[in-house]
Amino acid sequence: MNYPEVYILRHGETFWNAENRMQGGLNSPLTQIGHAQATRQAALLADRDLSGFAAISSPQGRAFQTAGIAVAPHIAMINTDVRLREIGVGTWQGRLRAELKVEGPVQDSPDGPIALYEQAPEGEGFDRLEARCLAFLNDLSGPSVLVTHGITSRMLRTILLGAGRKALGQLPGGQGNVFHVKDGVQTMIE
C-alpha cells in the first residue's frame, strides 16, 4: 500500500523512562530532559515545510505533552487518535524492567528488550498492535506529523517501510527523535 508522507516523533523522556519502568497505558510526565528533547524536535520541524500536514498525537499525556511543545508551534490543531497509544503491557505496567523475565533470546533496542512487549502477561502483543497500526495508517488521508511512543513508533515504521516484524528491534529508536518516512524510505532528522 502507498501511504502518505509522515513525520513520526516519539515523546520525550519521562520520569518512568528514566527509572527504566514499563509504562504501557499508564502515564508519567516529561522530565527536564524530556522537555529539552521536545524543544529540539520543534527546532528540527521548523526547518520543514509542513504546509498541508495534519498533526495527530496519542492521547496519552506524555505524547500529548510532547506534541504541545514540538508540534503546536508549527501546526495549529493537534488531533488525537487512540490507535497511536503505546502497546499495552498488561500486568507489567509500572514495573521495573529489571524485575521482568522473558523467555528465549532477548533482542535489545534503545526502547528496551523487544520481547518484553510481546510476552507481557495480559498485554496487547504484536498481532493486535500491528492490526491497530495498520488500521490507523489505512485511514490516514494525507501528510501528517504523528506523535506516539517507542514500540508503536517502531510498528508504524515497519509497516511504512515494508520491513516486517523482524525489524522491530533493528530500527533506530530512543526518545526525542524525529523520523521522516516517504515512499517507503525512512530518514532520521538530526
**Within 13 Å and on the Cβ side, how many CA atoms surround 129?**
27
The residue annotated as part of the active site, out of 11, 13, 118, 124, is 11
Q: At what angle do helices 125-139 and 150-161 cross, to 10 degrees?
A: 60
The catalytic residue among 13, 86, 118, 124 is: 86
Q: How far apart are CA 180 and CA 18, in angstroms?
A: 26
Residue 74 known to be catalytic: no
Q: In the chain, at which residue ranges do the beta strands (DSSP E only) sit? A: 6-10, 54-57, 78-80, 144-148, 178-182, 185-189
Positive or negative torsion for Cα 125, 131, 135, 138 = positive
Catalytic: 11?
Answer: yes
Residue tagged 490507523 (cell numbers): 136
3-state secondary structure of 188: strand
| Residues carrying an active site annotation | 11, 86
